[in-house]
Amino acid sequence: MRIARTFIGIHSDLGEEIAANAIAKTRSPILKATEYMDNGTPITLKITLDEREGSAVFDFTGTGVEVWGNLNAPRAITLSALIYCLRCMVGHDVPLNQKLVNIIKPKSLLTTVLRTKLCRCEVSHESEAVVKNSNAGEKEGSGCLTPVSVIIPPGSILDPSEGAAVVGGNVLTSQRVVDVVLKAFQVCGASQGCMNNLTLGEESWGYYETVAGGSGAGPTWAGAGGVHTHMTNTRITDVEIVERRYPMLVAHFSLRSGSGGKGYRVGGDGVTRELVFRRTVKVSVLTERRVFQPYGMNGGEAGARGLNLLQRADGRLINLGGKTTITAYPGDKYIMNSPGGGGYGSPSDVRTSDEAGNGQYSAYLERGSVYEYRMAQESV
């Protein structure tokens, strides 16, 4: 009980902290951002902040409709991506448990509302949230995370119909939701925005890998090259294992030099990975950021877009696009160039590092539970 009350005390001003920091940086209580999937579908976000109440409304109205393909993302994907972003932006740990998130679906089915809180929540027949603290005698809402409301249009790529294909929503669209949230708050340059999914195999076996790319730079850090970001924590199979167990050779695997966006802080480089096949196999790629580059922030340049190529054994080179399935034959080579991260700050800015947090540049520092988790992962 003592631990629980400590968490409640720490997080009761979560909304106030986020709102105050964002308004101080942008000088506006209304934040807007739009990002486009490679097929042109917009993900549009308008954030309305109330610093006095410590509340926020995340409105995805204007986002494109459900798509013919597997990039549709169920509501839970958007909510998870949003919570991840909020955890990155606060200066203390936010525990993840079943009481942290309650989804309230209005009777009209016009919106989906997310309210994050550490207290008991009851919903009336009219689908209005009635927050009651478990401890009698305390005022309503005391000890709770201030509500964050999320509006997601039904029938959109972020709230598709029941029969819509959604596998790409988990591994790709989730990344782009993070891009648009961090863009609205002007936190840092975009990371690669993709998990670079590659699957291949025959009837009797299959192989699946996700390939790293560049992370975005921020006001006090350069982007990291050759890393997974945001929605994934997978590690690629060792080259020796790949070549011993599967009919292919890893001909090349390195950082993609110069693919990170230029800036006062440079974005991280993507990678180049080349696989040569020794048998006939089916190859499928599911990737993003092959059309639109990862954005830079505050004058930083965009990272390089990704590129998927197939080089036939006779030397013919074919651009595969971002999403396709093809048959590869012995001697064919698959080449993946993953996206780089966006830069931060103008490349011509020659200020010393002591001045990096002043002027138009955000004083945002990496912190919070996500940062601590990443540090723990990178230490092993």
Give the chain's residues under pLDDT 50: 1-12, 97-146, 350, 352-363
In Å, how far are 76, 145, 194, 239, 366 from 169, measured between CA atoms? 10, 28, 11, 29, 27
The dihedral through the CA atoms of 43, 44, 50, 56 has a sign that is negative
The pTM of the full predicted model, rounded to 2 decimals, is 0.78
Instruction: Give the burial string for 117-139 (b: 16+ CB within 10 Å, else e).
Output: bbbeeebeeeeeeebebeeeeee
Mean pLDDT of the chain: 79
Token pair 């509302």 is at which residue? 113
66 three-state secondary structure: coil
- The per-residue pLDDT for 349 is 75
**pLDDT tens digit sequence for 365-380:** 565 666 676 677 777 6
Please state, as a whole number, how many other Cβ atoms lie within 10 Å of the Cβ of residue 373. 13
Q: How far apart are CA 277 and CA 18, in angstroms?
A: 50
Q: How far apart are CA 292 and CA 305, in angstroms?
A: 7
- Whole-number pLDDT of residue 86: 82
pLDDT of residue 304: 98
- CA 348 from chain center: how many Å? 29
pLDDT number for residue 111: 37
Tokens of 276: 């040569």
Taking the C-alpha atoms of residue 237 and residue 247, their distance in angstroms, rounded to an integer, is 14
pLDDT (tens digit, 9 = 90+) per residue, 292-310?
A: 999 999 999 999 999 999 9
- Radius of gyration (C-alpha) of the chain in whole angstroms: 22
